[in-house]
Amino acid sequence: MMTITLSDPDTGDDLEVQLPSRKCVCPTCEGEGYVLNPSMRGHAYAKEEFDDAFDDEQRAEYLKRGGIYDVVCETCNGRNVVDEVAEDQLTPAQLVQYEAWCESQRADAEYEAVCRAEREMGA
């Protein structure tokens, strides 16, 4: 079972809903348990720049999973799997709640992206 929290559309209160879940391979690290350090992800190295910034040994570390530039995956905390809502096992009522939750997650992510863009612009 997995607990999701959504706000009640009528009262605005937080509602905790238990939904059936299953384990799935972590989509963030693809089951590795490690991801490239977020401070380095986001930065796409040009070939020359990459050659410039790293020597051979560092380059090998950069490209290797679990190397010195990797950090424990924060999505699964290194467990390689995450709980995923078993959508095919939801009752119709649960499905409505789950879809509302997905919608709010998307809205949160968009809001976050806007905030981040504003921060980068120095707002």
* Interface residues toward Zn ion, by CB under 5 A: 26, 28-29, 73, 75-76
Total Cβ atoms within 10 A of residue 19: 20
Report, in Å, the least distance between residue 66 CB and Zn ion. 12
Closer residue to Zn ion (CB): 19 or 26: 26
Closest CA to 82 of 22, 34, 122, 41: 22
Q: From the CB of 74, what's the least distance to Zn ion, in Å?
A: 8
Q: How far is the CB of 100 from Zn ion (least distance, A)?
A: 26
Residue with tokens 């020597």: 55
Q: How far is the CB of 33 from Zn ion (least distance, A)?
A: 6
Q: Which is nearer to Zn ion, 96 or 109 (CB)?
A: 109
Nearer to Zn ion, 72 or 90 (CB): 72
Pairwise CA distance, residues 105 & 50, whole Å: 35
The smaller minimum CB distance to Zn ion, of residues 70 and 101, is found at 70
Number of H-type helices and E-type strands within the chain: 3, 6
Tell me the longest C-alpha to C-alpha distance in the chain: 59
Residue whose C-alpha is closest to residue 4's, from 94, 112, 89: 94
